[in-house]
Amino acid sequence: MFSSLSISEIYKNTALTFRVKEVLYRERSPYQMIEIVDTYDWGKVLQLDGLMMTSAKDEIFYHETIAHLPVTLKPTIEKALVIGGGDGGTVRELLKYPQIKEIHLAEIDEEVVRACQAHLPELAGGLSDPRVKCFFQDAALFVQDSPAKTYDLIISDSSDPVDFAAVLIEGSFFESVKRILKPDGIFIAQTNSPLAQPEEVKAAWDNLKRVFAYQQIAWSLIPIYPGAFWTFTLASQSEIPLKIHPEYHKPETLFWQAEFSTGLMTVPPFVRQILDS
Ligand code: SPD
């Protein structure tokens, strides 16, 4: 591909490769290989075990959607839990809302947080905010051990559902999430690409449907992920409003606009076919 230094994600029979200016961090933690590199075209990129997690150029499409969509739908959120999300991008967006008083981050790999605080402060800077408390433990155990009816919002900002993260789209995990959500609380998970990973999209949907009374697919475009067309799935025990509240969206954003909610929660027929298959 490139004769000089590069970084790739190979997903099945497709590869995405960026030419690298500089390697900023490259260490193996007890859980995974962590790499942060500065690329020519996408700015700084975080890879975990060879999988693209985020890039400076396109992270807004992911972090703004996963954080602002649920808050725009349910503006009374005071206490939130972020599962995974060690790069800090999702927490950074939640911190833009003054009504959110407390954010817990359950991230298995403390070294991801430390590496991002050192090399991606534009994402991870908010993790040292006094409203944020980090718990470095397995998210599946964290949700199992948390008290019932604790959170207004839970966001699963997980890595791909492989290895230790595979459990994060299973029914048993969703049962624990339901238990620790307040009765009118809302859950949103990143649920992969219907183009590249239709089986994972369907598995998450089916497992959520067995556990929660209401669920709703939303989508965004994340160019550095396999398939680029990416889904997020909302779930709740109370009805998920499809009517947006633009007045609840005040923060400065570069991508997200409250008016997108309706469009991004409109399920394209090719996605509906996967969910109904
Ligand atoms: N294929 C990549 C899926 C990763 C989703 N999570 C990314 C974490 C960004 N905060």
Does the active-site annotation cover 138? Answer: no
* Rounded (10°) angle between helices 269-276 and 198-211: 60
In this predicted structure, the answer to whether residue 3 has a pLDDT above a threshold of 70 is no
Q: Is 107 in the pocket of ligand 1 (CB under 6 A)?
A: no
Ligand 1 centroid–CA 59 distance in Å is 9
Q: Is 56 in the pocket of ligand 1 (CB under 6 A)?
A: no
* Amino acid making up residue 206: D
Give 247 or 269, the one with higher predicted confidence. 269
- Mean pLDDT of all residues belonging to the chain: 95
pLDDT tens, 85-139? 999 999 999 999 999 999 999 999 999 999 999 999 999 999 999 999 999 999 9
Q: Residue 114's beta-bridge partner residues?
A: none
* Amino acid making up residue 199: E
Percent of the chain scoring above 90 in pLDDT = 86
Q: Give the closest residue (by CA) to ligand 1 atom 4.
A: 159
Q: What is the pLDDT of residue 153?
A: 98
pLDDT tens, 12-55? 999 999 999 999 999 999 999 999 999 999 999 999 999 999 99
Q: What is the pLDDT of residue 151?
A: 98
Nearest Cα residue to 173 out of 140, 206, 204: 140
Q: Is 161 in the pocket of ligand 1 (CB under 6 A)?
A: no
Which residue is listed with tokens 């570069």?
Answer: 254
Could you tell me how many residues make up the chain? 277
Contacts within 8 Å (CB) and 24+ apart, 62-65:
62/89, 62/190, 62/220, 62/222, 62/230, 63/89, 63/90, 63/92, 63/93, 63/123, 64/93, 64/253, 64/254, 64/255, 64/256, 65/218, 65/220, 65/232, 65/255, 65/256, 65/264
